[in-house]
Every structure is written in structure tokens, then in C-alpha cells.
Chain A
Amino acid sequence: MSAIVSVKNLRKAYAGGFEALKSVNLDIEEGEILALLGPNGAGKTTLISTVCGITVPTSGTITVGGHDTQTDFRAARSLIGLVPQEINLEPFETVMNSVSFSRGLFGKPRNDAYIEDVLRQLSLHDKKDDKIMTLSGGMKRRVLIAKALSHEPRVLFLDEPTAGVDVELRKDMWEVVAGLKASGVTIILTTHYIEEAEAIADRVGVINKGEILLIQDKADLMAQMGQKQLKIELAEATSAIPAELSRYELWRADDGLSLTYSYDTKGERTGITTLLNDLQKAGLQMKDIQTQQSSLEDIFVGLVKEPAQ
């Protein structure tokens, strides 16, 4: 696979001096779904806007399909479809006209058959002659997607497609995204719902304060999340880990009142039963047992939380 979108040393500072992006580097592979996670104001929308041409970068380069978005903007933008975060639609137009307008802007000749296919795919076909103002919020969001797909883009940016959308519709949206991926479209979506990234992404990026903090295969992240900790609280403090237990990877708390054991839930044997037996043999008395699991949320919160003052 090769990178269809390549962002190098991208920096964006606004006139007021606010630095929305600080030297972002990002390669997006063709055909993948990349989820960009980040809190509000992290720079997700600025990053998307800069790639799509709405915002001018302060420095750095962006190429889409090998075309520079500044010097060869026509070729670069032709490949991109953008679904904005806000529902920005001409209220008095019909769905069909609005979507055809988007196609025309991208220089493509009118093709009603293709547009109708897109509308069918998004369950909008029976609304094609309705005015946009008569549609529900969820339908309007689908119209935005239809507009972004109207010119047959190879890369689709979805800026928080499910913000403020009910659970049912969110699931529908995920199905739509999966369908688009199956048709070969590369998808970049921003979200602040962790479960959304878990549900549909191939790779997950975490962005905060204009910096990409982590970008990793979801599978690897999930493997990390498969780790669990067993915390054993002892009735009496132990000064050291007894020799009988040396074959276990145990971590002793400073006060000696607890031992922590890490294990893989996906492994064939967790080793918990033998550990507990060996604890007894070593003469340690247990007061309580707790298990903890690290989640994507822990990783995320750990990455973006403010450093302690």
C-alpha cells in the first residue's frame, strides 16, 4: 500500500497567533479507514480544512495522490470529498439539485444515474425531489455525504460524522462508512467517540493541541488493551517477593501491602490459578483481589490529560 495523503511538517498559525497545528506529519494509506481522535479544539478540523484547501497552511506541504495541494490544487482537490462537521446546506434546494451542484463544482459533467446510485446507497433516493429544509437532521447529514461523494472522490474526509447523532443513526453511519471502504474509498474521520474509532477504524491517531501524539494500527492498540492486571491485596505487608513466586512477573507496591500481576486475557492460560495456589504455599494471606483492564479510553486520557501542576 502507498500513501494517498501525505502531510509533512504542517504548521498552521492563525492571525491572532494561535497555533492550531504544530508540525504535523501524517501518511494515510490508500484504502484504509483512519480515525483521528482528539478532544474539542485539538486541531482535528483545522487539519482536515488545510488538506481540503479551506485553510491555507502557514508552512509545510500536503500531497494528495502525489499532487501538491498548493501548487497543483485542481488535481489534488479533485480526489477529495469533504463532509463538514456543521450541517451546511442550502435549505430551499432539492436534494437532487444540491448534490448535482457539488458534482458540477468539481468539473464533472452531469450524471443523474450516478447521483441516483449514491442517493440509493445512502437511503435518500425517495427524498431526492424534497427540499432540504424538510429533511430530518440525520437525513441532512446523509445529504452532506452524498454531496461529498458526488464527484467520485478517492479520499473522503468525515469531520465528526456522528456528533450529536442518536445511537441508531450512528450505527447506520458506520455501515455507510464500511460500504464506502468496500468500494475502495480511503476514509479519514475525526471523532471524539472512542467506541467509534474502535468499531470502524483500521488505524487510530490521537491528536491534541495541534500535535499527533500517537498513530497506530487498531489491532495493536487492541492487543495492548487485552492486558489485564490482577491486584492482590495482602493482609500483612511483605518486605520482598517470596522466592516461590519468582517465576511470575509480579510487581510489589512500595508499602508491601499489594502485589500486581499482568496477564493477557487472549492467552491460552492466564496463570491465575497457579499463582493463587503458589501464593498460599508461600504463606501470604490475601485480603482482597481486583482486576483492571486498560482501555483505549485510558490510553487516550493518558495521552491528552493536562500534566499535573
Chain B
Amino acid sequence: MNFNAVWTIYVFEMRRFFRTITQSLISPVLSTSLYFVVFGAAIGSRIQEVEGVSYGAFIVPGLIMLSVMTQATSNASFGIYFPKFIGTIYELLSAPISFLEVVAGYVGAAATKALFIGVIILITAFFFVDIEIKHPVAMVLFLVLTCVSFSLLGFIIGIWADNFEKLQLIPLLVITPLVFLGGSFYSITMLPPVWQTITLFNPVVYLISGFRWSFFGEADVAIGVSLFAIALFTGICLAIIWWIFRTGWRIRQ
């Protein structure tokens, strides 16, 4: 195991994050604040409590998940796509490192960035609403697992993409709709029965529900099912990465 290489990639990627710290942090904080103003204050004042929680507080876990999922995916996909695009990937391919070490470096950095943003949004939320975290350990576990699994997904997208449009395609067309329809801003119990059933096919539902449970102790689906869903998702991503590693798909001819 070439730990030096993993650490080198990690630090190099984190440096990019800190170099663009303004874009990296200000934009998620700003957009979260806007969500609080629009959904929490303007619309939320007309909505009664959801599952015994004020609407402003209710949307906090969903908002964090929304940002963490999109940030993890876009950071990881860009992280590995950029060397492919500018050609510096030759260095990764000719260095004495295995593909899994490359994954560890890039995914580790992307997950860290997403975690960072998740925490910043949580802190921002404290300024707008009163929140109490009932299960802090579970909250951290869900947050970290989401960061890692969506960074893995982003890495796969970055390997797959051969132009900038494809890089945006999955986050825009798949992840954002799934997150919005996954109960970020509402409880799925508020939906008509048919839609409740359809929603259960959306994997993001399980993540948001589990994450919300760690805050309020209330969940749309059982907490065990949520944990299983995120473990399954991580497992699928790891399996795809293993396959890429075996075949050299889109990286090594």
C-alpha cells in the first residue's frame, strides 16, 4: 500500500478546495440561507408542524443531504475528470500506485469537502431555527456514509464522462430530482398512498429518512431499512469501481 501517494492525492485535492474556498463555502451557505428564507420563513409560517417538528427545523436534514449529495458527487466527478481532461492522468497511470489507492485519495478528498459543507450548513441552520440532535452518533454516521457513497458515485461518473456535459448529466437529471422528490422538504406520509409506494423506489428517501431520524427520532421508514439502503448503495458503487479497476475501463487502453 502506497500511503504516501494516497495522502499526496488527498492533500493536492484539498488544496484545490481551499484555493477556491469562496466558491466552495459561500455558495452552499448562501443557497441554504435562501432555502430557509423561502421555505422556512415565507412558506413554513403557513405550514403546521410536521411530525411534531416546526417546518423550519424539519427541512434542515433534507437541506444538508441535498447539498452533501450534490457536492460529493460533483467534487469527486470533477476531481478525476479534470486530470483526464487536461491530460495529467498519465502521472496517475505511470506511478507505482494501484487504482484503489487512486480511488482512496480522490474519494477521501471529495467526501471530506462534502462533510465540511454539511457541517457548515448545519451551523448556518442554527442561526435560523432551533434544532436538537437526538442521536448525534447516528447523525455523524449517516452524514459520513452519505459523503463517501456519493463521492464513490461521483468518481464513477468522472471516469465515465468524456465531456463536460456528461459530467453534469447525472447530477442534474438524476440526483437533484431524486433528492427533491425524496422527502427533503416534506414527509412522505403527506403524499397520497399511490405516490407513497412509488416514492419507496427512490433510494434517497431512505437516506433522508434515516438522517432525519437522527435529528428528531421520527422516520418515514424504519431506521434499519435506511442503514441497509445506504450500505447497499455503497456496496454497488464499490462493485462498479472494482469492475473499472479490473478492466481499466475508460482509463487504461
Given A55-B252, A107-B4, do A102 and B93 touch, yes or no (CB 8 Å)?
no
CB of A106 within 8 A of CB of B96, answer yes
By the criterion CB–CB under 8 Å, are B96 and A77 in contact? yes
CB pair B96–A104 under 8 Å, yes or no, is no
Q: Which residues of A from 246 to 291 have beta carbons under 8 Å from B?
A: none
Number of interface residues of A (CB under 8 A): 33
Determine the residue in chain A with the shortest Cβ distance to B82.
A90
Task: Tell me, in angstroms, the Cα distance from A108 to B2 when the chains sit together.
Answer: 9
Q: Which of A80-112 contact B (CB under 8 A)?
A: 80, 82, 84, 86, 88-92, 97, 101-109
B96 touching A107 by the CB < 8 A rule? yes
Tell which of A15, A88, A105 touches B95, judged by Cβ atoms closer than 8 Å. A105
In the complex, whether B228 has a CB less than 8 A from a CB of chain A is: no
Select one of B7, B12, B83, B86 contacting A91, CB under 8 A.
B86
- Residues of the A chain whose Cβ atoms lie less than 8 Å from the Cβ of B48: none
Q: How far is the CA of A107 from the CA of B3 in the complex (A)?
A: 7
The answer, yes or no, to whether A137 is at the interface (CB within 8 Å) is no
Q: Is there a chain A Cβ closer than 8 Å to B88's Cβ?
A: yes
CB < 8 Å: which of B8, B88, B93 contacts A53?
A: B93
The yes or no answer to B90 lying at the interface (CB within 8 A) is: yes
Tell me the nearest residue of chain A to B7, going by C-beta. A104
Q: Does B92 contact A (CB under 8 A)?
A: yes
Residues of A with C-beta under 8 A to B3: 107
Q: Which of B2, B7, B87, B91 contacts A102 (CB 8 A)?
A: B91
Q: Is B181 an interface residue, CB under 8 A from the partner?
A: no
Contact B9 A89 (CB under 8 A): no
Mark out the residues of chain A between 14 and 68 whose CB falls within 8 Å of any chain B CB in the assembled complex: 14-15, 52-56
Q: Determine which of B4, B83, B95 lies in contact with A77 in the assembled complex, contact meaning CB atoms within 8 Å.
A: B95
Contact in complex: B91, A105 (CB < 8 Å): yes
Residues 72-114 of B contacting A (Cβ, < 8 Å): 83, 86-88, 90-97
- Tell me how many residues of B have a C-beta within 8 Å of chain A: 27
Q: Does B15 contact A (CB under 8 A)?
A: yes
Given contacts A56-B253, A147-B91, contact A90 B96 (CB under 8 A): no
Give the chain A neighbours of B9 by CB distance below 8 A.
104-105
Contact A105 B92, beta carbon cutoff 8 Å: yes
Question: Which chain B residues (1-19) contact chain A, with CB distance < 8 Å?
Answer: 2-5, 7-9, 11-12, 15-16, 19
Q: Quick check: A74 and B2 within 8 Å, CB to CB?
A: yes
Contact B2 A109 (CB under 8 A): no
The reply to whether the CB of A73 lies closer than 8 angstroms to some CB of chain B is: yes
A86→B4 CA distance, assembly (Å): 27
Binary CB contact string for chain B from 31 to 65 against chain A (1 if under 8 A, 0 otherwise): 00000000000000000000000000000000000
With CB as the reference atom, state the residue of chain B lying closest to A14. B253
Cβ of B177 under 8 Å from chain A = no
User: Any chain B CB within 8 A of the CB of A219?
Assistant: no
Q: Which residues of A are found within 8 Å of B136, using beta-carbon distances?
A: none
Inside 8 A of A105's CB, which chain B residues have their CB? 5, 8-9, 91-92, 95, 97
A282 to B182, CA, bound (A): 106
Per-position contact with A for B149-178: 1 when CB-CB < 8 Å, else 0? 000000000000000000000000000000
Bound Cα distance A102, B83 (Å): 13
- CB of A78 within 8 Å of the partner chain: yes
Contact A84 B87 (CB under 8 A): yes
**Given the complex of chains A and B, what is the CA–CA distance between A107 and B248 in angstroms?**
22
What is the distance, in angstroms, from B94's C-beta to the closest C-beta of chain A? Answer: 4
Give the docked Cα–Cα distance between A65 and B55 (Å): 67
Which residues in B have their C-beta under 8 angstroms from that of A108? Answer: 4
Also in contact, A109 and B252, with CB within 8 A (given A74-B96, A90-B88): no
Q: Is the CB of A80 within 8 A of B94?
A: yes
**A54-B252, A75-B96, A89-B86 are contacts. A97–B5 as well, Cβ < 8 Å?**
no
In the complex, the chain B residue whose C-beta lies closest to that of A75 is B96
**A147-180 toward B: CB 8 Å interface, digit per residue (1/0)?**
1000000000000000000000000000000000
Task: Check if A84 sits within 8 Å of B8, measured CB to CB.
Answer: no
| B4 in contact with A104 (CB, 8 Å) | yes
Other-chain residue from B5, B86, B87 in contact with A104 (beta carbon distance below 8 A): B5
| A residues in contact with B7, CB < 8 Å | 104
5 closest pairs, A vs B, by CB?
A104-B8, A88-B87, A105-B95, A74-B96, A77-B96
Contact A53 B94 (CB under 8 A): yes
Given A56-B253, A90-B86, A104-B12, 8 further pairs, Cβ under 8 A: A53-B93, A76-B96, A88-B86, A90-B83, A104-B9, A105-B5, A105-B91, A107-B3
The residue from A75, A77, A86, A91 contacting B94, defined by CB atoms under 8 A apart: A77
Report the bound CA distance from A76 to B97 in whole Å.
11
